[in-house]
């Protein structure tokens, strides 16, 4: 089935949850969201889903592992008999695969870092075995463990917003470059549609932006690094706030994400 990265909006159009939804069968879906949103996601779904829909929290049943990078396809080809080429297993699709003799591992062809890779949801009884198999096969490709801040740096360089840090209940898709994920041209009703339509008609009052610190003005070795919460100025006038930051290792400079808006009487 296909995977859709989407959000759950409140009546003001803001994000109550930033998530991915995978279709596992004709009438069966799996929703994945950041671990800090586990109960928030479950409560929101339980509050709004029809009674005919069965909702189950399966977080504790699975171990999630991510393999990312340019050699991830070659690595996983060593561990599964299934074809992994882009035609057989396209991006943003999911399937059950045998991995290192462990059966029916839910595999998703997507990453949260903007590069080739896979996310595995492994039944807990197979988790250590699959992990060890990946580590062993990965020696050929120079596989390394990737920490939280390394992934944070990569997603900030790719201009990926993160719920709870960049996005919140008052941020709408129109304000953070995700309008294409809302089916505004369809007749499908959803919570927050009216508020989002108003932004489409009138325009937004704030905008999510990426800022690069000029090495001429900011010395990475001597000056303090931004960490989020810093004010943004344009022409010596306050215009917004930084949400998250990181050093961009491929860019060679500090990267800041944040929101800007016009605070003047004309804004």
Place of tokens 């996005």: 167
Whether the pTM exceeds 0.75: the reply is: yes
Alpha helices in 102-249 (DSSP H): 124-138, 148-157, 193-202
Q: Which residues contact 92 (CB under 8 A, 6 or more apart)?
A: 2, 3, 4, 5, 109, 110
Residue 34 has what pLDDT?
78
Encoded tokens for 226: 């931004």
Residue 33 has what pLDDT?
85
Encoded tokens for 50: 């029809």
Contact 110, 119 (CB under 8 A): yes
pLDDT in tens, 37-90: 888 889 999 999 999 999 999 999 999 999 999 999 999 999 999 999 999 999
Cα separation values, 114 from 92, 203, 214, Å: 12, 28, 24
Phi (first) and psi of residue 10, to 5 degrees: -90, -175
pLDDT in tens, 118-173: 999 999 999 999 999 999 999 999 999 988 778 888 889 989 888 888 999 999 99
Shortest CA distance to 251 belongs to which of 222, 220, 229, 230? 220
Q: Which residues contact 166 (CB under 8 A, 6 or more apart)?
A: 176, 208, 243, 244, 257
CA distance 49 to 179: 24
The single-letter DSSP state of residue 93 is: B
Between CA 111 and CA 117, with CA 112 as vertex, the angle to 5 degrees is 20
Residue 221 has what pLDDT?
87
What percent of the residues of the chain are helix, what percent strand, and what percent coil, each to the nearest 5?
25, 30, 45
- Mean pLDDT computed over every residue of the chain: 91
Between residues 197 and 153, the one the model is more confident about: 197
Residues comprising the chain, all counted: 267
Alpha helices in 24-145 (DSSP H): 38-48, 72-77, 124-138
Cα separation values, 99 from 53, 54, 81, 175, Å: 31, 29, 8, 41
Residue 265 has what pLDDT?
62
Residue 267 has what pLDDT?
57
In order, the DSSP letters of 219-234 are -TTTSPPP-S--EEEE
Contact 76, 103 (CB under 8 A): no
């Amino acid at each position: 089935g296909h995977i859709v990265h989407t959000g759950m909006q409140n009546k003001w159009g803001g994000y109550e949850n930033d998530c991915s939804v995978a279709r596992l069968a004709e009438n069966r879906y799996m929703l994945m969201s950041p671990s800090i949103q586990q109960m928030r996601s479950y409560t929101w779904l339980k509050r709004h889903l029809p009674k005919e829909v069965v909702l189950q929290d399966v977080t504790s049943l699975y171990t999630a592992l991510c393999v990312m990078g340019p050699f991830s396809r070659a690595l996983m080809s060593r561990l599964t008999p299934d074809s992994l080429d882009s035609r057989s297993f396209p991006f943003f699709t999911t399937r059950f695969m045998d991995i290192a003799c462990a059966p029916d591992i839910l595999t998703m062809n997507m990453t949260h870092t903007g590069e080739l890779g896979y996310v595995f949801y492994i039944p807990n009884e197979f988790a250590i075995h699959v992990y060890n198999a990946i580590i062993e096969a990965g020696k050929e490709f120079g596989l390394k463990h990737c920490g939280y801040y390394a992934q944070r740096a990569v997603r900030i360089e790719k201009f990926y917003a993160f719920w709870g840090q960049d996005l919140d209940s008052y941020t709408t898709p129109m304000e953070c470059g995700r309008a294409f994920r809302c089916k505004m041209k369809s007749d499908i009703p959803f919570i927050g549609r009216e508020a989002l339509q108003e932004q489409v008609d009138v325009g937004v009052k704030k905008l999510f932006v990426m800022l690069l610190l000029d090495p001429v003005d900011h010395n990475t070795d001597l000056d303090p690094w931004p960490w989020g919460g810093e004010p943004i100025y344009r022409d010596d006038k306050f215009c917004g706030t930084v949400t998250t930051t990181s050093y961009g290792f491929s860019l060679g400079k500090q990267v800041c994400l944040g929101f800007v808006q016009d605070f003047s009487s004309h804004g």
